[in-house]
Amino acid sequence: MLQATPLTEGWILRHEGGELPAVVPGCVHTDLLAAGAIPDPFLGRNETDLAWVGRRDWTYETELPPVDGHEQTDLVFDGLDTVAEILLDGQLLGRTRNMHRSYRFDVTGMAGRLAVRFVSAYAEAEAVRGKLGERPAAYAEPYQYLRKMACSFGWDWGPTLVTAGIWRPVRIERWSTARIARVRPLVTVGEQGLGVVELAVEVERARVEAPLRVEASVGGVRASASLDGTEGVVRLEVPDVGLWWPRGYGEQPLYDVELTLLHEDRPLDVWRRRVGFRTVELDRAADAHGTGFTLVVNGERLFARGVNWIPDDVFPSRITRERYRERLGQAAAAGVDLVRIWGGGIYESEDFYDACDELGLLVWQDFPFACAAYPEEQPLRGEVEAEARENVVRLMPHPSLVLWNGNNENLWGFRDWGWEARLAGDSWGEGYYLGVLPRVVAELDPTRPYTAGSPWSGSWEHHPNDPAHGTHHSWEVWNREDYAEYRREVPRFVAEFGWQAPPAYATLARALPGEVLAADSPGVLHHQKADDGNGKLRRGLERHFAFPEGDFDRWHYLMQVNQARAVAAGIEHWRSHWPVCAGTVVWQLNDCWPVTSWAAIDGDGREKPLYHELRRLYADRLLTLRGRVLAVVNQTAEEWAGAVRLRRMSVAGTVIGEADVEFRAGRRAVAEVSVPRELDPVGPKEFLVADADGLRAVHFPVADREIPYPQPEFDVSVAPGAVTVTAHTLVRDLLLQADRLDPAARADRGLVTLLPGERVTIGVSGWKTPDPDAARSALYCMEPSR
């Protein structure tokens, strides 16, 4: 039987100045940190002082002990970052140049000193650039010249910390006769609930003539097949399977699949995975509105409630199974049902996809290409196909994976960012996105759809980012326009959009020790990576609020409010236009370090007000006011009928007019209710409130800076685990910043608007000494303009 032994002990990291202990899996930065050789790059402006790390070569070493008792011994690396040569007692085993692949080396009968020598990623990228020529990109760093996590070279939300190391597990595998090299599971659902698992098996042989067979089981069904040569297929049919559904649509039953390789009834190797039975289609049919982009799971058409995912740490080896489950659990708790793994990161670990399988989170997987023209010549072309083949097969068992996407913004960049003229006919990646990748997916994983890019209109007949065709990225808003402009159009599927805000106060305070926080203080500016980021924040705020000069706390609060308002403007509008618009994917769920960004959850894992707003926006039922139209959004499987209470109110708290209007929204449908003309608010002193079944929508006809808000008056009481606020006036966008009470404290809700006489109880965890005065000092809301 194949025996696998993790190779985790005794590693050292050698460098120009000497050596230090190393942890594998890990990377150079984490080993230097553990040894106290560098400061934390996340704190202050330390990042800048550590640029040298990515410019040096590094060597990992350990002893490979002698092993025997089997016909073959392999040294297996699940991930090497990135350009390395592997030597055993000075003998070269091989070279690597791809972070996104695994590697296997025959070390039968060998032992001694194992060395993994990493060349600077900069040196390799610059050598490839010198050979193949310049290619344009959104950023100056040379990330497009090697197969490595692009965002380790920095991004408009991430630090430039160029990593190297053995970033995924390494082990010794000993085996005899034969081993399982690859299993490609095709999981389909036939008529009358028949689940089919077809396992295409490839083996590596140590003995060519040995007769081999495989036995497989799933859901109580067993089957076997003989292998001719190195390949074979075993088919299992499972009657009456339970269908795997996205969260909110049904359950997520998972089935254990086991395949055993045998020689004369002696087990040689075992492959185990979990699968789920479901169908997935992508409806891209043309219609009166353009070209659609609608996910269909088990025959059910979905409005996708999505978030974009970036690597959760700039050092991915630090991300544990528990951390994946915490972050993805936060996404599910916010009503998210789709997570897009963005193309400037990595193919995530099995732990990520396992969590999505269990939580019912659909996964849209980008191939790792982002915001650059990528050369198609060697040595890159062969690496691209090899990594695609490996990862497509690796991820196939996961029912959560529903879409392969060729790249992020590169087709758009070619057309709109001046690349075409600069390239002058040089290769730039089109051959990957429209050739290599769809061919690999069609050959290996025909059960899932593929799209060439995001954004992508489906063909060059339309502009790549045409909102009427396919996927759309909405970045004129934020970069140049106000978020009110979201309401100008109804894209078919909004795959990226968002608005920035700083991280939580406690996150900033930890990341900038000793700094007096200000919107333009040195550390705050360093932890803002977007081009003119603070300028865009200011201009975006001034369209709605008076800018709070010199008041950091007020600036911090208003930026959080503006972020939540911006994302709400988009999602409410687009959800209300289902089924023309079939999904929104917010940029972004998470951060990889403490930074001002578009994230809903900051780099310390704290939830911004945007996160809590997503819980409202992505709930199965939503009310949204569009002037004199109330949209009633019902994403449940049952009809939603009732009456909505409409109130025209003054900011002083008086009811000017009211009415109860009946509505009926069908299953997974949107209904529109006309607001009686006499309830239409007029001028800055009036607003409209709609309430139904515990849900509320509020519409103010003018910007906040024009509203004569009353001085907010409210009472505050505390109890263990709770803060209760009772309003005596209109209190708009009340926010308890729990981390100001204690860095460990969390609140269970974000922004809330109270009418006079209303109260809200906010759950607070992690606050050890409840105090009403402290609670009041951590509460923020809209105030009269200053």
Are the CB atoms for 295 and 567 separated by under 8 Å? Answer: no
Give the list of residues 6+ apart from residue 231 with CB closer than 8 angstroms, or none.
200, 201, 202, 203
Smallest CA-to-CA distance from 592 within 505, 503, 479, 515 is with 503
Smallest CA-to-CA distance from 325 within 308, 312, 340 is with 312
475/424 Cα distance (integer angstroms): 27
619/26 Cα distance (integer angstroms): 39
- b/e 486-503 (16+ beta carbons within 10 angstroms → b): beeebbbbbbbbbbbbbb
Smallest CA-to-CA distance from 661 within 670, 673, 678 is with 673
Helical residues (DSSP H) of 449-514, grouped into ranges: 476-479, 505-511
Are the CB atoms for 359 and 332 separated by under 8 Å? Answer: yes
Using CA atoms, how far residue 303 sits from 278, 300, 473, 495, in Å, is 17, 10, 17, 12
Give the list of residues 6+ apart from residue 149 with CB closer than 8 angstroms, or none.
81, 99, 163, 311, 316, 344, 345, 346, 368
Give the count of beta carbons closer than 10 Å to the beta carbon of residue 173. Answer: 18
Secondary structure E strands in 264-337: 266-275, 280-283, 286-287, 290-291, 294-297, 300-301, 304-309
737/509 Cα distance (integer angstroms): 14
Tokens representing 38 are 């560098």
287/270 Cα distance (integer angstroms): 49
Check 409, 430, 572, 607 and give the catalytic one: 409
Are the CB atoms for 530 and 157 separated by under 8 Å? Answer: yes
Using CA atoms, how far residue 276 sits from 251, 396, 621, in Å, is 11, 11, 28
Are the CB atoms for 738 and 747 separated by under 8 Å? Answer: yes
Smallest CA-to-CA distance from 414 within 431, 439, 397 is with 431
Amino acid at 7: L
User: Which H, E and C letters describe 347-397, residue by residue?
Assistant: CCCHHHHHHHHHHCCEEEEECCCECECCCCCCCHHHHHHHHHHHHHHHHCC
598/585 Cα distance (integer angstroms): 12
Concerning whether 409 is annotated as a catalytic residue, the answer is yes
Are the CB atoms for 468 and 289 separated by under 8 Å? Answer: yes
Give the count of beta carbons closer than 10 Å to the beta carbon of residue 322. Answer: 10
328/236 Cα distance (integer angstroms): 32
375/379 Cα distance (integer angstroms): 9
**Which helix (H) or strand (E) covers residue 760, if one does?**
strand 759-765
Dihedral sign from CA coordinates of 299, 303, 304, 305: negative
Backbone angles phi, psi at 116, to 5 degrees: -120, 105
Residues that are catalytic: 409
